[in-house]
Structure 1
């Protein structure tokens, strides 16, 4: 009997802001827009944590970071946990055991030593040295084309620090590269994905370890638009910095905010950036997004060419966002703003998801883990903190689902600058952030979408503060957060 379960294609970007592909965005993303028009766009999708390894581990395990233990980036010397516990259930291992043929290309970053092969995937190449160093495929590809990685002269370079043009003591932020588009890692990852789709469609094809018999699950993890925002033409000059307006949050004063917010400005080395420099960097960031969008177009075209489009669930999401100058910040960190916690998410499922739907239920990135299992007709393990999105996709219900939570929960545990425990709960209108070592935060997102005014001590919001703290405690209880043993009492006394 033929296996009629659908194929799944997951395209995960790295540090892509929600607003890049949101309606009205100045960034050109016709392919992401197409996925929205042909499927469901999730208006309120959030990462459980705004740091790479932790978010990716949550996606695999369906658990919040405190549940899987990978609290910060696994490649750093101060990693709390370098690899996921081997006995922790993952959606990928369950799908592989149930007959799905799993393939993977691109960024991993969910284990220092453990690779995708140990989680049910066949890895098809495309990693980089900093995050994974799993293989040599992309470096060999570039050598064959006569442009070895690291052997090109960049232009328009920007760095953090006191000398943003020479990189003497700063982090690499952005540049123009003289290579052809076909020599970018984004192109290469799309090409590998297309080869994988051909193999799945033709019983082997390019890759010997793809059998092509059962349904497939393919995952493409792009290295971008994470910094450094290095793009070739035409993307490098696609957006004019002079036409980019500062976001409302650029007016940040840090008044009434946790001290770490302003400290992080200095730690990241962007305290002296003016808007002209930020606009130049953002123009490259936007160009990077469009470059990836064009590679997604190639992938979707391959699905159609190989007759797979109508049988494949296509998912686009990101592990987390990027400040890119919002709140005058660079990268990400212990600042739980929507710039880094709200993510893009579109799902196209022909014959199931109503084309052009907009889901307004708040969802988490790691809800995809439970979703993939239900798509594969599998039970969701009790260890998962995630809910399958299938019911939202099938019903076409955009809001008012009484069985769905009306808030999201997130956390942060620090990165290379040290540990810093945070918890966040967000509804459509309000956001509350618990900062153990400093002042808490409360934002009215309807009145202040840029999250500039901390209302935690405002007398008119005392009732909202109490309600949001109660919501936070409920989430901590529901997810067995280890801090639930003492934080609720602290919050009770704080009122």
Structure 2
């Protein structure tokens, strides 16, 4: 059972909770299993991260580096859909079902690849489907939208407001009904199953149902420690995107607290629905025999770093996500090794004893079974742009150093142990030159090892002009010809 959510910060729930939102259900899920406290999104963006979670490959391999429905999309459908994880499970006799957000192709949805379930392709809009409208009509439910906050002048870019209706009238409640109905059908059969529900929540706009509107105590919300960041030492595009793309982003602490409050209310709505699903799994007896995996596709800036909004940024708020593997035989506890949310595929299949082809993701099952098992020395993440094409690579070391490589702008280095809020870019500090060299060498090795198309750029920007990337090299050709003569 793979429970996925959209844009959930790692610090919204246990064990790293920094927000006053009540999340008893996600907290019990995290506490009851083996969690990875340093899990990163493979990319801080929906489509590439979702494609990676479902294939175990980086986006530069599965082909969908940007959101698939953008005008500049790098890929509109998966390059090799045979890599989707449910094919391995299907060959092992599993029934495979999908509920919720797909966003891994604009024309083909899960059913086109053999999943059970009625899920629209692309980003999807559950509220616009006939099934949701019929559900409302059959149950005498209705709602209206009352906007309360916009990110741009002229009532543009809706940020938050009220979903004037009960929780039962929301798409996330309907999603919970759908996955419970699917699980009930699987429970009555003889075959093992893989089922996933991918909630759209708490992705904005934050439209809060009657039961949860202002359910979070705003007086307990503390402004982010990096809200005063003037963005000096960060690439120029960060400030421009904050100031020009979201012109009404939070500028005062009161505005920030108000916006964080909406986010918290939305997280509380989501937590309620996940609680319904967990209660069903326990009451039905499925929890005793089902591996439950939970994570998010990426995080959310939520006004950090001086008012940054949304995702698509290499900072911890958008990159860090919760991740847990829960089964009665696995025990519980937090693991300190570096993990990517795309590690779900090889880890889950390994725990289930299902054979699978090698992936770029790694199998975390040894760390799950043994808290002392060694994990990654370095973690590589990628970003290819959201509103425009923009290549970046993110490297995190096991000793908590972080390099953000931006070939068209400034590089960034942060000491996450000393500076967890990433205020102090160390890339130009002479006293940290050895760290910069080490991180750059590691980035060259990681991009080369994974066949990253950016590896030639990474190497040449850092002084290694013969990279072995396979790209045409006139010098090598000339020297080969001279040697032949």
Q: Normalized against structure 2, the TM-score is what?
A: 0.90
Query: Which residue of 133, 155, 158 maps to 2:149?
Result: 158
Residue equivalent to 2:63: 69
Flag structure 1 segments of 5+ consecutive residues without an equivalent.
Answer: 1-8, 203-211
Pairs within 5 Å for 1:388-399: 388-395=363-370, 397=371, 399=372
Is residue 424 from structure 1 mapped to residue 401 from structure 2 by the alignment? no
The answer as to whether partners of 2:42 and 2:381 remain within 8 angstroms in 1 is yes
Residue equivalent to 1:207: none
The answer as to whether partners of 1:229 and 1:281 remain within 8 angstroms in 2 is no
Residue equivalent to 2:170: 184
Are the structure 2 counterparts of residues 454 and 491 from structure 1 closer, same or farther at C-alpha, using a change threshold of 3 Å?
A: same
Query: Which residue of 378, 387, 410 maps to 2:381?
Result: 410
TM-aligned CA deviation for residue 176 of structure 1: 1.6
- 1:430-471 Cα offsets, whole Å, 9 max, x none, are 110100100100011122111011111001110000111111
Query: Which residue of 267, 286, 293 maps to 2:271?
Result: 293
Residue equivalent to 2:413: 442
Query: Which residue of 229, 247, 253 maps to 1:252?
Result: 229
Are the structure 2 counterparts of residues 92 and 129 from structure 1 closer, same or farther at C-alpha, using a change threshold of 3 Å?
A: closer
- Give the SS at the match of 1:331: coil
Residue equivalent to 1:372: 348
- Give the SS at the match of 1:285: helix
Residue equivalent to 1:3: none
The answer as to whether partners of 2:380 and 2:396 remain within 8 angstroms in 1 is yes
Whole-Å Cα distance in 2 between the matches of residues 74 and 411 of structure 1? 16
Is residue 312 from structure 1 mapped to residue 287 from structure 2 by the alignment? no
- Give the SS at the match of 2:152: coil
Pairs within 5 Å for 1:276-355: 276-327=254-305, 328-333=307-312, 335-351=313-329, 353-355=330-332
TM-aligned CA deviation for residue 235 of structure 1: 1.5
Residue equivalent to 2:10: 18
Whole-Å Cα distance in 1 between the matches of residues 121 and 84 of structure 2? 24
- Give the SS at the match of 1:72: coil
TM-aligned CA deviation for residue 143 of structure 1: 3.7
Whole-Å Cα distance in 1 between the matches of residues 360 and 121 of structure 2? 31
TM-aligned CA deviation for residue 243 of structure 1: 3.1
TM-aligned CA deviation for residue 129 of structure 1: 8.4
TM-aligned CA deviation for residue 87 of structure 1: 5.0
Residue equivalent to 1:206: none
Whole-Å Cα distance in 2 between the matches of residues 33 and 408 of structure 1? 26
Q: Normalized against structure 1, the TM-score is what?
A: 0.88
Is residue 54 from structure 1 mapped to residue 32 from structure 2 by the alignment? no
Whole-Å Cα distance in 1 between the matches of residues 103 and 433 of structure 2? 41
Is residue 131 from structure 1 mapped to residue 124 from structure 2 by the alignment? yes
CA RMSD of aligned residues (A): 2.0
The answer as to whether partners of 1:103 and 1:124 remain within 8 angstroms in 2 is no
Are the structure 2 counterparts of residues 129 and 185 from structure 1 closer, same or farther at C-alpha, using a change threshold of 3 Å?
A: farther
